[in-house]
Amino acid sequence: MPNEKILAVDDDEDIRELVKYNLAKDGFRVRCVASGEQALTEALDFTPDLVLLDLMLPGLDGLDVCRQLKSNPKTNHIPIIMLTAKGEDSDVVAGLELGADDYITKPFSPRVLLARTKAVLRRFRREQPQDSAVVQAHDVVINPARHEVLVSGKAVELTASEFRIMHFLARRPGWVFSREQIIDAVRGQDYPVTERSVDVQIVGLRKKLGEAGRLIETVRGVGYRFKE
């Protein structure tokens, strides 16, 4: 995957050097910044293919940066890997709820960093909708080319993960999918988070869709489906 651009955000200079050296050695173009404020500026200027984001940053912390990147239409498509010294489920789930794609717990080895970076980029390519046709169901319109969801003609802002789940289910109305199948389809089989993350994403998705959230139905003991 030569020449793909990585933005590394960490206030620890040693970590920044470790990340830059090992990813650049493998052909990536790496830009490093030390603060959340710089990260938001560089994400617009550098337009990275992936962001490696430390959660513990001075000033604007990693979760705030993630939130702003995923709420901005110019950057919400960029996959994010969280770099964190926190391994608790609550921290991981908080980041995933905001739209992060994976996480690496510090300390980490360069080999793990490289492998996880490549894995997320591979998943990101695979997760891009193969069918660019507009999906219309009930009063919901999904436009993959524009990464846009309209409910009764009004745009709904979704994270990249929420959009992928919505598109996956809506393309197959009436089909029931287990949480494992949803993870495999929109995250990849090597995704390291429990099925609970799917429930978290569905709750957030329904809330944003408002009345149209009823179209995503829970099938008890099995999973979820989009109403036929």
Among residues 127, 161, 187, which one ends one of the domains? 127
Report pTM.
0.59
Q: Are residues 158 and 104 in the same domain?
A: no
CA distances from 136 to 149, 151, 152 (A): 10, 10, 11
**Chain segment 111-126, per-residue pLDDT in tens:** 999 999 998 888 776 6
**Chain segment 177-210, per-residue pLDDT in tens:** 888 888 777 765 445 445 677 888 899 999 999 9
Q: What's the domain range around 183?
A: 135-226
pLDDT band at 47 (very low <50, low <70, confident <90, very high): confident
Dig out the tokens for 55 from the structure.
Answer: 């959660």
Q: Are residues 76 and 160 in the same domain?
A: no
Q: Are residues 173 and 113 in the same domain?
A: no
Q: Are residues 176 and 197 in the same domain?
A: yes
CB 26 within 8 A of CB 49: no
Q: Are residues 110 and 159 in the same domain?
A: no
How many C-beta neighbours within 10 Å does residue 172 have? 14
Q: Are residues 143 and 123 in the same domain?
A: no
Residue 88 has pLDDT above 80, yes or no: no
Report how far residue 200's alpha carbon sits from residue 107's, in angstroms, rounded to the nearest whole number.
Answer: 27
Q: Are residues 9 and 120 in the same domain?
A: yes
Among residues 100, 127, 154, which one ends one of the domains? 127
* Edge-first strand listing for the sheet containing 102-105: 29-33, 5-9, 50-54, 80-84, 102-105
Among residues 101, 113, 211, the alpha carbon closest in space to that of 165 is found at: 101
**Chain segment 154-180, per-residue pLDDT in tens:** 999 988 778 888 998 998 888 888 888
Q: Are residues 113 and 222 in the same domain?
A: no
Report how far residue 174's alpha carbon sits from residue 157's, in angstroms, rounded to the nearest whole number.
Answer: 24
Among residues 94, 127, 160, which one ends one of the domains? 127
Domain tally, the chain:
2
Q: What is the CATH number of the domain that holds 19?
A: 3.40.50.2300
Report how far residue 137's alpha carbon sits from residue 165's, in angstroms, rounded to the nearest whole number.
Answer: 15
